Amino acid sequence: MTGFNEPASTQTALLLLGRGTDSGSERGVDCPGELPAPSDPDLVERARAAKEALGGNVFILGHHYQRDEVIQFADVTGDSFKLAQQAAARPDAEYILFCGVHFMAESADILTGDHQQVILPDLAAGCSMADMATASQVEQCWEDLQRIGIAETTVPVTYMNSTAAIKGFVGREGGIVCTSSNAERALRWAYEQGEKVLFLPDQHLGRNTMVREMGYSLDDCVLYNPHKPNGGLTDEELRNAKIILWKGHCSVHGRFTLETVEEMRRIDPEVNILVHPECKHEVVQAADYVGSTEYIIKALEAAEPGSSWAIGTELNLVRRLANQFPDKKISFLDKTVCYCSTMNRIDLPHLVWALEELVAGRVPNTITVDPATAGYAREALDRMLALP
């Protein structure tokens, strides 16, 4: 069905997985470099040998959305912020090898010491959501808010899934970073500082938190499109809004639909729908449970044996959870294969290449944030860390 060598029980559990294709799915890009062949049967042993040779000098971080072939070599697995924190907690490791995407490696560089070097095995591993808010676009938005006299009462809040430049802007303007776990706390903090919020770059997390968790209405939210003059909004709409949402989204979580939720309930009336808050508002409203990646993992750990779950998040994680909890029926909430294509650029050949480069005394693909940007970004991150 999927091309994976899954046990029959797991194939049954992954109910809707891979039944179709989507020509509009996000694509990765070519990445130059001499890499081991993906079919090389010695890759696992080469990775083990290189990691052993490096010892405590290297610390490997693996995001939950990574392939299993990469996760097996991670010293720590987690979401983006947890991994950045873990990197900062290992000052003895000279090299932080981050198996994630570019903005995550930037955050690790901001939080780690000057003596440490953060490495991204493939520089093409980016994030389409983070790329939807550039520094120049956000500066233009801020100028729009200044022109109509509301910037001084607006607090910028950026999701962790944003570039260092955006985190730096937010820190400079007195704002805060949030994760999908603490978005509500961050927004409540922001409203203690000002009258309205500019929320970057994921419209869905901002909207879902405001409406579902904080009791605001959809009318309190406006959507700023950086590709249109004044964001495509009137001055009055900007003045009246409680939150100005940036027109950005996750290319994976944005694919889940209300129609698929309804189809899953027809197939299995007992199913529990569990989705990430980066999903569209109508999907979140129709779900039974909504939460971050860590929340999703803990919910399935605590679920009753025999219970049925349809999960709206990245496919690598759903597959891993289905294998981890074979006593539960775990389905994927989409009809088509839905990997994060840029996250999946970090594969075993790239990991082996990066490790063997370090063994050879060469440091590849270092991620460095300039000191000024890093300083402001650290202010925004520290405000988040200080949340109650």
- pLDDT per residue over 145-167, tens digit each? 999 999 999 999 999 999 999 99
* pLDDT score for 299: 97
Comparing CA positions, the residue from 367, 361, 364, 343 lying closest to residue 353 is: 364
* Cα within 13 Å of Cα(215), Cβ side: 1
Q: Is 293 annotated as a binding residue?
A: yes
Question: Can you tell me the mean pLDDT for 275-299?
Answer: 96
Of 24-33, 92-101, 186-195, 306-315, where does mean pLDDT reach its minimum?
24-33
Quickly state the pLDDT bin for 364 (edges 50, 70, 90): very high
Check the annotation: does 249 bind a ligand: no
pTM, whole model, 2 decimals? 0.85
Instruction: Please check if 95 is assigned to a binding site.
Output: no
Residues whose CB falls within 8 Å of the CB of residue 271, separated by 6 or more in sequence, listed in order:
264, 265, 308, 309, 310, 331
Ligand-binding annotation for 364, yes or no, is no
What's the burial of 76, exposed, middle or buried (CB within 10 Å: 0-12/13-18/19+)? middle
DSSP alpha helices (H): ranges in 134-257?
Answer: 135-147, 164-172, 183-193, 203-208, 235-240
Q: Annotation-wise, does 160 bind a ligand? A: yes
Find out whether 279 is annotated in a ligand binding site. no
Q: Mean pLDDT score of the chain, rounded to an integer? A: 89
Task: Answer yes or no: is 159 a known binding residue.
Answer: yes
Is position 305 annotated in a ligand binding site?
no
pLDDT of amino acid 39 = 61
Query: Does an H or E element contain 224, and which?
Result: strand 221-224
Handedness of CA 126, 129, 133, 135 (dihedral sign): negative
Determine whether the annotation assigns residue 39 to a binding site. Answer: no
Whether pLDDT at 26 is above 70: no
Q: pLDDT, tens digit, for every residue of 308-360?
A: 999 999 888 998 999 999 999 999 998 776 677 778 889 999 999 999 999 99
Q: State yes or no: 344 annotated in a binding site.
A: no
| Residue 36: per-residue pLDDT | 62
CB neighbours of 358 closer than 8 A, spacing ≥ 6?
50, 54, 57, 58, 95, 97, 119, 364
CA angle at residue 72 from 303 to 337, to 5 degrees?
Answer: 65
Residue 99, annotated as binding a ligand: no
C-alpha–C-alpha distance, residues 80 and 62, integer Å: 9
Query: What is the model's pLDDT at position 119?
Result: 96
The percent of residues in the chain predicted with pLDDT above 90, rounded, is 77
